[in-house]
């Protein structure tokens, strides 16, 4: 290694001598000048473009001959590698790299301006300055415009107007004897006045000074003409004056340098940032792509890199990724007092971040938490009932309050009292509706509802909590001016949590008994959107609490085949709330396992945590959810202490509170969502460049016509195959549904009778009355009593289709039968023609990318949405068929009303059973057919449109985009890791 380093040092010294022997130093005052700099510090270099320089130097300077031959051998594996197609990668840190880049710059300058009668090249660190006669300016402009390079910055610094160029150069101040002769030969006389205006370097260039001083010069020039705007991304500036012009494009022949990723870490995105000027002469950033190929890039680096590419070709490059992917929803269940607010505050890292009681205390308000990605404020967006919706709600509430019969549901009565007094004040529940309408508060509320939405934004979290408290909290100690009864949903946006919640939404889904159908439908629809569910329960009753287990039991269909839930986390809270003495006595924990010092409490906490996890897992193993969430990572149990997470005196390590584990869960999901978003962005960007590339190709019209005919033929063939697939699953589901109809018809009367004629306990007539009022469904506040006649009637139809349905619409795994898999493999490109050597490869590549980028994600999202609709249509149809019966039964009051209700329900089920279940069957098949037509129409329409775009595409962009496409493909490969 020492020998190699010594050799490189000697060789570098020889190369440096060669470079320093070239003209350099002070620029004559009256000359016009062009500066050329590389876009990237590390590059792929074409050896053919420095061969002439090496050959000339070998002939003119024998003492350097052997060293330069060694350089030549280092860079070339064989003589033929000097061809224009052969490139070598110059690595960061190699001492030869700067010198070789300078050789390539000088070679390029000579190619462009060698035809000029009088010109000279000045060598500076990472740039060259070409001097020429002012009268040659127009010729130079034409030359640059016709021979521009993607890899160089080429700027006309001066047109010979006397501006001084304050530039340093490599090495010491130029004092060689040939300077005056060389200058005079090129530019004529060199009098004393000109000599006084020459720039003089006093010290060795440090790599930054030359850059800063060059920019100072450009700033001076721009200050003289503020109307001039230079945009190095355009081919040539359209400015009315010519003191400064910037050029940018792609050289038609192979350039000496091609940009490649570097290992520079000078910017937060792994990009080289170079300033240019705006119209007012101030600096603005212009990022040039400079990726690292030998190290893994972050998602932000990849996204920013792709944006820099797309800025060259699309005005809307920054809009390409917005709204392209739905956020992941995590549903949170748990009754009030279980510690949900404290838990989420701890996960987000700030004590008391969310107001205590904002989750679950307000009956059934859906509360959503997400990241504020725009500023550092805390924001609440509150959706209110419309005036008409609240009038109906109020009428229903007073209907409950006025019900003095024995059938009255006490829980619904308590809810009605709670809502009316919270909003209108004490004793408001004792008034009639007409009396309440005459109250001044009533008019105030009506005006308030006309807004439909309230938004609060505060930088201070305490001010924020105070501001929104009345909309999301309930106080039993004071009445009036609590607006939560008017609230449909609340969206809270938290700053500084991008890492956890950038692509995730946390939604509290109370689901407790509420007589409002709007909220009932809202939380059920939210539940079906959840990709994960967190069940919250205090650890001391986690395995026995009827609430969480009632939720899991009642919502199996919404979590499983009727939703998109991939995992369930059962979170046991308040683990620090323990009395060690009582715990030891209750569990009969051996005394020799309990220390006498302050760690006694910690031992008890950890022991209870371990036992609690075991009991919860054992109970889950016996539930029917086990069939759906079968793998170990699909059901996990956490034992957390939000209090101990913030308070080290409670003697638990941070990891033992298990808050960091939940943070990691969010972080991992967030990264996964971000990766998917970036992958989509890269694919869309690639599609844009592929379309540009297709428009640049001079494709044979006859060959194009044949290819279009082939693609259209393949499209019809692929659609026919997809049609056969849908016919197959339609037939399978029809058979399953027919079996379900038969079983439902046979058992529906018996199952209805069993559900609605319970003989245990008093007060069942109240439960039955509430069931009728809520269109067939009743659940208590604590979920210890759940009755759902619609779900009971739909049971056999669901059971009969579940096995096939899960295969057709799986949540995670592949089944070989799913609709998503059919869409993924749908292709109109024949496998034997999809190769780089095909003359129509660019067309095939575009079609393939267009389908993967635009169609597949869109259709997969539609498939998930339609899947939910298909599965829920059974129960929805049954409820709709029974609605008139429910209303009629709810209106029955007085002596013997419970028996009348029961008879009416049973009789109705028996009378409409054939028609009701067959309608449910046909609704499933009808919705499935709708999905088929939606998918096939989208595939046919969009792919035909893509083919037509290819046929009519004529790109105005002359720049070769193939290198950018290759870069995007490499990024896609990295994202697939």
**SS3 of residue 158 by DSSP:** strand
Residue 324's pLDDT is: 53
| 126 within 8 A of 168, measured Cβ to Cβ | no
- Tens-digit pLDDT profile for residues 682-706: 888 888 888 887 777 766 677 878 8
Q: How far apart are CA 422 and CA 476, in angstroms?
A: 8
**Confidence class of residue 108 from pLDDT cuts 50, 70 and 90?**
confident
**Which segment of 294-298, 462-466, 491-495, 513-517 scores lowest on mean pLDDT?**
513-517
- DSSP E strands in 243-338: the ranges are 245-247, 257-259, 272-277, 283-288, 328-333
Distances (CA, A) of 517 to 95, 302, 423, 514, 522: 74, 46, 20, 8, 8
Q: Give me the percent of the chain exceeding a pLDDT of 90.
A: 26
pLDDT band at 580 (very low <50, low <70, confident <90, very high): confident
What percent of the residues of the chain are helix, what percent strand, and what percent coil, each to the nearest 5?
Answer: 55, 10, 35
- Regarding predicted confidence, which is higher, 514 or 609? 609
What does the DSSP assignment read for 415-446?
HHHHHHHHHH-TTGGGS-HHHHHTSHHHHHHH
> Residue 367 — pLDDT band, cuts 50, 70, 90?
confident
Instruction: Look at 539 and 410; give whichever has higher pLDDT.
Output: 539
Distance CA 778, CA 785 (A): 8
pLDDT over 70 at 608, yes or no: yes
Rounded to an integer, the average pLDDT of 643-665 is 91
890 has pLDDT over 50: yes
Residue 911, H or E segment: helix 897-952
Contacts 24+ apart (CB under 8 A), 461-467: 461/350, 461/352, 461/353, 461/378, 464/378, 464/380, 465/352, 465/355, 467/380
Question: Between 853 and 512, whose confidence is greater?
Answer: 853
> Which range has the top average pLDDT, 61-65, 546-550, 772-776, 930-934?
930-934
Average pLDDT over residues 724-733: 96
Per-residue b or e along 443-462, where b marks 16 or more CB atoms closer than 10 Å to that residue's CB: eebeeebeeeebebebeebe
In whole angstroms, give the CA distance from residue 914 to residue 49. Answer: 85
Q: Where are the alpha helices (DSSP H) in 295-355?
A: 299-310, 340-347
CA dihedral angle for residue 189, residue 192, residue 196, residue 198, rounded to 10 degrees: 20
Expressed in angstroms, the distance from the first to the final Cα of the chain is 34
Choice between 516 and 333, residue whose per-residue pLDDT is larger: 333
pLDDT digits (tens, 9 = 90+) for 770-781: 889 889 988 776
640 contacts 575 by C-beta, under 8 angstroms = yes
Torsion of CA 959, 961, 963, 969, to 10 degrees: 170
The pLDDT of residue 947 is above 90: no
User: Could you read off the pLDDT of 415-453 as tens digits, one per residue?
Assistant: 888 888 888 888 888 888 888 888 888 888 888 888 888
Mean pLDDT of 82-110: 67
- Segment 104-108 mean pLDDT: 79
Residue 39: burial class (beta carbons within 10 Å; 0-12, 13-18, 19+): buried
Of the CA atoms within 13 Å of residue 653, those in its CB half-sphere come to 5
Mean pLDDT of 953-957: 66
> For residue 922, what pLDDT band results from cuts at 50, 70 and 90?
very high
Pair 380, 487: CB distance under 8 Å: no
Taking the C-alpha atoms of residue 917 and residue 793, their distance in angstroms, rounded to an integer, is 9
Encode pLDDT of 834-882 as tens digits.
Answer: 455 555 677 788 888 888 878 888 899 899 999 999 999 999 999 999 9
Nearest alpha-carbon partner for 58 in 15, 88, 26: 15
Q: What is the pLDDT of residue 638?
A: 96
Per-residue model confidence as pLDDT tens digits over 791-843? 999 999 999 999 999 999 998 778 889 999 999 999 988 764 445 555 567 77
Query: Does the pLDDT at position 518 exceed 70?
Result: no
CB-based contacts of 335: which residues, under 8 Å, 6+ apart? Answer: 360, 512, 547, 781, 782
Considering only 318-327, 486-495, 715-724, which range has the smallest mean pLDDT? Answer: 318-327
379-406 pLDDT per residue, tens: 999 999 888 888 888 888 888 888 777 6
pLDDT at 179: 41
Query: Two tokens at 546?
Result: 């009827």
* More confident position, 489 or 512: 489
756-771 pLDDT, tens digit per residue, is 987 665 678 888 888 8
Residue 425 structure tokens? 């004040």
Between these two residues, 762 and 663, which has the higher pLDDT value? 663
Q: In the 3-class helix/strand/coil scheme, how is 476-543 assigned residue by residue?
A: CCCCCCCCHHHEEEEEEEECCCHHHHCCEEEEECCCCCCCCHHHHHHHHHHHHHCCEEEEEEEHHHCC
**Residue 307 predicted with pLDDT over 90:** no
**What are the tens digits of pLDDT across the range 12-55?**
555 555 554 444 445 666 788 888 887 765 455 666 666 666 66
Q: At what angle do helices 897-952 and 659-696 cross, to 10 degrees?
A: 40
pLDDT band at 913 (very low <50, low <70, confident <90, very high): very high
Share of the chain above pLDDT 70, in %: 68
The winner for highest mean pLDDT among 21-35, 318-332, 490-504 is: 490-504
Q: What is the pLDDT of residue 238?
A: 29
Q: What is the pLDDT of residue 802?
A: 92
Element (H, E) at 569: strand 567-573
Average pLDDT, the chain: 75
Q: Summarize the confidence of residues 442-467 as an average pLDDT.
A: 86
Region 743-763: mean pLDDT is 86
Higher pLDDT, 420 or 165: 420
Say yes or no to pLDDT of 325 above 50: yes
Over residues 247-291, the pLDDT tens digits come to: 233 333 334 444 443 333 333 333 332 333 333 333 333 333 444
Q: How far is C-alpha 975 from the geometric centre of its chain's CA atoms?
A: 13
């Amino acid at each position: 290694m020492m020998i190699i380093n010594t050799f490189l040092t000697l060789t570098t010294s020889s190369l440096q001598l060669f470079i320093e022997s070239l003209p350099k130093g002070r620029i004559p005052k009256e000359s016009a000048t062009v500066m050329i700099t590389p876009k990237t510090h590390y590059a792929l270099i074409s050896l053919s473009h420095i061969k002439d320089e090496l050959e000339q130097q070998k002939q003119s300077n024998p003492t350097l001959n052997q060293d330069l031959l060694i350089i030549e051998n280092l860079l070339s594996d064989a003589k033929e590698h000097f061809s224009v197609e052969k490139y070598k990668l110059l690595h960061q840190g190699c001492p030869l790299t700067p010198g070789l880049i300078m050789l390539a710059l000088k070679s390029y300058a000579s190619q462009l301006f060698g035809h000029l009668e009088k010109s000279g090249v000045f060598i500076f660190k990472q740039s060259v300055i070409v001097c020429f006669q002012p009268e040659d300016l127009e010729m130079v402009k034409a030359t640059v415009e016709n021979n521009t390079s993607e890899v160089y910055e080429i700027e006309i610094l001066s047109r010979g107007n006397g501006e001084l160029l304050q530039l340093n150069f490599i090495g010491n101040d130029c004092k060689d004897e040939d300077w005056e002769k060389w200058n005079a030969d090129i530019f004529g006389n060199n009098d004393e006045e000109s000599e006084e205006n020459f720039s003089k370097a006093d010290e060795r260039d440090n790599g930054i000074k030359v850059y800063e001083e060059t920019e100072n010069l450009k700033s001076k020039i721009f200050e003289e003409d503020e109307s001039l705007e230079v945009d190095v991304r355009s081919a040539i500036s359209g400015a009315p004056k010519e003191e400064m012009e910037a050029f940018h494009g792609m050289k038609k022949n192979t350039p000496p340098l091609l940009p490649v990723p570097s290992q520079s870490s000078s910017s937060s995105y792994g990009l080289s940032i170079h300033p240019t000027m705006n119209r007012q002469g101030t600096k603005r950033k212009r990022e040039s792509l400079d990726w690292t190929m030998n190290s893994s890039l972050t998602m932000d680096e990849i996204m920013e890199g792709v944006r820099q590419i797309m800025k060259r070709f699309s005005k809307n490059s920054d809009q390409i990724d917005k709204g392209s992917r739905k956020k992941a929803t995590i549903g949170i269940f748990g009754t009030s007092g279980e510690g949900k607010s404290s838990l989420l505050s701890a996960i987000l890292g700030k004590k008391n971040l969310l107001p205590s009681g904002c989750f679950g205390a307000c009956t059934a308000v859906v509360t959503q938490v997400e990241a504020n990605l725009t500023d550092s404020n805390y924001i609440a967006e509150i959706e209110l009932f419309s005036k008409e919706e609240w009038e109906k709600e109020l009428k229903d509430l007073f209907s409950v309050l006025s019900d003095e019969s024995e059938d009255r549901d006490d829980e619904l009565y308590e809810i009605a009292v709670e809502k009316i007094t919270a909003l209108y004040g004490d004793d408001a529940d004792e008034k009639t509706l007409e009396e309440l309408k005459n109250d001044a508060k009533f008019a105030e509320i009506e005006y308030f509802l006309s807004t439909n939405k309230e938004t609060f934004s505060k930088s201070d979290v305490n001010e924020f909590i105070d501001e929104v408290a009345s909309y999301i909290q309930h106080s039993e100690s004071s009445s009036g001016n609590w607006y939560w009864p008017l609230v449909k949903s609340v969206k809270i946006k938290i700053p500084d949590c991008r890492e956890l919640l950038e692509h995730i939404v946390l939604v509290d889904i109370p689901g407790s008994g509420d007589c409002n159908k709007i909220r009932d439908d809202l939380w059920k629809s939210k539940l079906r959107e959840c990709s994960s569910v967190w069940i919250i329960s205090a650890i001391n009753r986690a395995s026995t609490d009827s609430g969480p287990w009632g939720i899991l039991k009642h919502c199996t269909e919404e979590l499983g085949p009727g939703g998109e839930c991939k995992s369930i986390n059962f979170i046991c809270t308040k683990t620090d709330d323990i009395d060690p003495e009582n715990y030891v006595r209750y569990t009969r924990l051996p005394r020799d396992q309990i220390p006498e010092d302050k760690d006694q409490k910690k031992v008890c906490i950890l022991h209870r945590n371990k036992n609690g996890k075991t009991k919860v897992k054992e109970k889950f193993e016996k539930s029917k959810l086990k069939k759906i969430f079968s793998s170990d990572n699909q059901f996990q149990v956490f034992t957390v202490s939000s209090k101990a997470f913030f308070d080290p005196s409670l003697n638990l390590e941070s990891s033992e509170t298990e808050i960091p584990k939940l943070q990691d869960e969010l972080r991992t999901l967030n990264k996964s969502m971000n990766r998917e978003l970036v992958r989509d962005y890269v694919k869309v960007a690639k599609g844009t460049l592929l379309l540009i590339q297709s428009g640049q190709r001079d494709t044979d019209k006859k060959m194009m016509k044949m290819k279009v005919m082939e693609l259209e033929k393949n499209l019809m063939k692929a659609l026919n195959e997809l049609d056969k697939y849908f016919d197959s699953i339609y037939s399978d589901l029809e058979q399953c549904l027919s079996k379900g109809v038969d079983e439902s018809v046979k058992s529906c009367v018996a199952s209805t009778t069993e559900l609605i004629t319970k003989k245990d306990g008093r007060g069942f007539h109240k439960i039955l009355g509430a069931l009728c009022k809520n269109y067939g469904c009743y659940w208590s506040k604590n979920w210890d009593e759940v009755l759902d006649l619609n779900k009971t009637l739909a049971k056999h139809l669901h059971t009969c289709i579940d096995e096939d349905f899960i295969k057709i619409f799986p949540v995670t795994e592949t089944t070989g039968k799913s609709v998503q898999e059919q869409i993924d493999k749908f292709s109109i490109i024949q496998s034997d023609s999809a190769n780089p050597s095909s003359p129509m490869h660019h067309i095939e590549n575009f079609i393939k990318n267009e389908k993967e980028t635009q169609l597949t994600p869109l259709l997969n999202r539609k498939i998930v949405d339609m899947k939910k609709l298909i599965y829920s249509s059974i129960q929805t149809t049954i409820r709709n068929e029974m609605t008139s019966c429910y209303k009629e039964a709810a209106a029955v009051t007085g002596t013997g009303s419970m028996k009348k209700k029961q008879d009416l329900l049973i009789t109705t089920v028996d009378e409409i059973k054939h028609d009701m279940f067959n309608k449910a069957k046909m609704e499933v098949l009808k919705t499935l057919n709708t999905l088929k037509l939606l998918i096939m129409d989208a595939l046919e329409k969009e792919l035909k449109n893509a083919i037509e775009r290819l046929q009519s595409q004529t790109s105005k962009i002359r720049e070769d985009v193939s290198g950018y496409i290759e870069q995007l493909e490499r990024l896609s490969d990295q994202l697939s890791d």
